[in-house]
Chain A
Amino acid sequence: MKESDESGQRKDIQATAIQRVRQRMHWEPRDPIEEEIYQLALQRAEDLLLDKREGED
Chain B
Amino acid sequence: MNLNDLIVEKVKDLPTLPTVYSALCDVIEDSSSTVEDVARVICLDQASVIRILRVANSAFFGFSGRIDSISRAILILGFNEVRNLVLASSVMNLFNKRHSLRGFKPQDFWIHSVGVGLITRLFSQMAGFRRLENFFIAGILHDIGKIFFFEFMEEEYSRVLTLVNEKKCLIREAELEVLGMDHALIGSLVADQWKLPEPIRNALHYHHFGTIGEQADLLVASVHLSDILARVLELGHPGDDLIPQPSEAVWETLKLRPGMVTQMVPKLLKDFREMVGTVFLG
Contacts and interface: CB of A to CB of B under 8 A. Distances in A.
B233 A44 contact: yes
Interface residues of B, number: 22
A25 to B, nearest CB: 5
Interface in B237-282: 241-246, 248, 251, 256-259, 261-262, 265
Interface in A13-30: 21, 23-27, 30
Q: Which 7 A-B pairs have the closest CB atoms?
A: A32-B258, A27-B245, A41-B232, A25-B243, A24-B243, A44-B233, A40-B232
A21 B245 CA distance: 13
B245 to A, nearest CB: 4
B234 A48 contact: yes
Contacts of B77: none
A34 B248 CA distance: 9
A26 B242 contact: yes
A12 interface: no
B256 A33 contact: yes
Interface of B: 168, 228-229, 231-234, 241-246, 248, 251, 256-259, 261-262, 265
Interface of A: 21, 23-27, 30-34, 36-37, 39-41, 44-45, 48
B180 to A, nearest CB: 24
A40 B262 contact: yes
Contacts of A23: 168, 241
Nearest to A34: B246
Nearest to B233: A44
Given A30-B248, A33-B251, A34-B245, A44 B258 contact: no
A37 B258 contact: no
Given A23-B241, A41-B243, A36 B258 contact: yes
Contact of A24 (B242, B256, B257, B261): B242
A37 B119 CA distance: 14
Contacts of B242: 24-26
B261 A40 contact: yes
Contacts of A31: 248, 251
A40 B233 contact: yes
Contacts of B241: 23-24
Nearest to B263: A36
A36 B259 contact: yes
